[in-house]
Structure 1
Amino acid sequence: MKQIQGSFITGYVTILVKGHMPELFFQKCVKQGILVWDVKKVSQTSCQGNVKLQDIKLIKQLKRETIYKLSFIHKKGSPFFLKRIIRKKEIVTGLLVSILLIFLLSNIIWDVKVTGLPKDIEKKIVKQLDIYGIHPGSWSLTLEPPSVIQQKLVSDIPELLWVGVNKKGTTYFLEGVEKSIVKEKEVKGPRNLVATKKGVIQNMYVSKGLSKKHVNDYVEPGDILVSGKLDFEEDAGKEEKDDDKPKLIAAEGEVIAKTWYEVSVTVPLHANFEMLTGKNEKKYYLGFGDVKLPIWGFGDPEYKNIHEEVNDNPIHFLKWELPINFIESKLSEKKYHKLDRTKKEAIQVGRKQAKNELQLRLGPEAKIISQKVLHETTERGKVKLTLYHTVEENIAKAEPINQGD
């Protein structure tokens, strides 16, 4: 029985043998190693039995050596079933078109849903996704993985603290967290303006309050610059009033002072880096586990150095994820560059780098007015600099007045 298992898949034929003692023909088949089963005597001169489709050629050769007549009365199994279907071209064409249509529709983005964010940020995300090519109707197999899309969104939209991208079937689901900008708590009620840093006052702009310091005064952190406590001094000739008390207000103004900062930077004299030239070629594969079957883009590009970016997307059929991946490989030409700087050039780069870092730390309102090199050393192909910066910035900060004093 084990020998005839799977015969339907490979196909088998029922043959009718006619002649004197037809059962002898089946005995000859067995002697030749041909599998025969369900042998039946139909009449004195005819007998039928089943043989595998793959043995038909051997049976025809054996028949030439005998006087028996053979006829095939039944053909069964998947090969014959497929042949019958193939003959009906309309059905086959309709079936193939339907499968192809379902496959295409299963790998198209039909909807993009964003939750957990205000409407204005949601519109920005949808607009940015459209730039990435992610919108209803786009082909999902050529899109970047969700992890890459997440990083791009956080980088391109400053208001986003975090965003999660999840693809389920033909829909992209995005859930984000808005970045909360911590604003300095406004001091309400009576207040002074105090110094936040040590420096020398250059300009004072006081709209409310009493100045306690003046231009060119040196101040330390915590010194009162503008007081919100107004003391009434009695003019000569006026009667003193018992109910005169200091008036408390909210001091307002801006105190620009000269401050100082030290910044240390290290600049290499020699560096190697790679750059993409802009030339690239794309290849497409169907992935089956560790096996990749090329479907477009054959041969390797004539680049000496190649940078490869691989985008691997699973293929879906309806709601099921097939064990087949659509792989896009982008091969870009890259060139290596060697950078050699003189010590003078390295110092110039370091000065610019230090200034940019300090400006980024202080904000756009601060003004760097001078820069000096305090210390300079060269070790192991690197120039280490310590730079002294003079800055003009607003050092005033509101501080509430303790009315119990």
Structure 2
Amino acid sequence: MLIKLYCWFRGFLLVRMKGQSPERFINLCSNRMIYLWDLKHADGDYEFHIMLKDYHKLKPVARKTGTIPFIKKKCGFPFWLRRNRKRKGYFLGVLLFCMVIYILSLFIWDINILGGHSYTPEAMVKFLKNNQIYAGLQKKQVDCQDIEELIRGTFKDIGWVSAEIKGTRLIIKITETNMPAPAVTATENCHIIAAKDCIISEIITRTGTPLVKEGSVVKKGDILVSGIVDIVGDNAEVVDKKVVIADADIIGKTFYNYKDSFSLNYVEKQYTGAEKTGYNLSVFLKKFNLYKPRIPYTKYDIIVNESMLHLNDNFYLPVSYTVNRYVEYEEVKKKYTELEAKSIAEAKLKRFLDKLIENDVLIIENNVKIAIKNNYCVVSGNIVVLESVKDYKAINDSEWRNIDTDESDGNDN
């Protein structure tokens, strides 16, 4: 691909060769380092491609072999530029387009929230906007680390947050404390610490100094494997220390609390089939109503389908088209039977357990109970599991460097 792009920018020719000694012609080109490609037989003659800069080198070869190479087609950027040299408006438009794309690339135009169950993407986007983080903000004004700390500090049930900028998108991934955090990989010298309270059931250390063993009870934040390694001399004394990226497989026994409740009485929406459709256009975050119908319904759902213009998966532009569907429904009061309520609760619990299994969590005990109390279905209990419990913590220089406190203070007296 890169070779083709290089040839196009430098320019190349499609040449037809006539004569009685094509083999000798090709051999001489090879000896003189003249590169020919796509050589093929065509109607008794030969055709091939050659770089524009090499074409003048064919003259002595053609004279010696009695062949006649003539140009059949000119290809590449130099010839395209020559054909379009009078189209100044075209080049000005291309230049203007590139400038606009560059300017747009300096801003965040889409905020994407991934993960989480209790917080909808809409609620999280609204929270970020209230904290001056919104679509249309310059990327240089966005500090991903500050966003992570803001979300963790505000929502105590969110245990893991990752914020990153890709193209013109701000992508935020969240994991609530009742779900395992995604695995992370250390890239600098660090300790391995406990991600949560647990009992260590297995530890296999590859690099670093293990500080716990199987059966140890640890709390969140405790150092499990130190990234500081002692260097021992011949007399079995520590002569120095060095730091490494601690690496180990650590499995801990821990648990997840599970709680859920819902009323046996509920309201079911029954859609009548009647609906209206409206259309909006958004340009640079300014919305324009193309058409908004009169809504004659008392109760209705609004189903929004927004399509945002983008060049690729990460380069979104501040132009979107929205279709709003207003769908009428009627409310019908109903009540779950005990069997139906327990079935719904079991289905919710199963989805939670399946999510744990997807994250490589081994379930060893399920102590969740389902009960019907005071017209409510109440689900509570804990799930005992085995899972990876490691996290990483950077090593401070003060933890391992020897600081000489007897250095001269500059006073000779």
Rg larger in structure: 1
TM range (shorter): 0.3 to 0.5
Q: TM-score, normalised by structure 1?
A: 0.39
Q: TM-score, normalised by structure 2?
A: 0.38
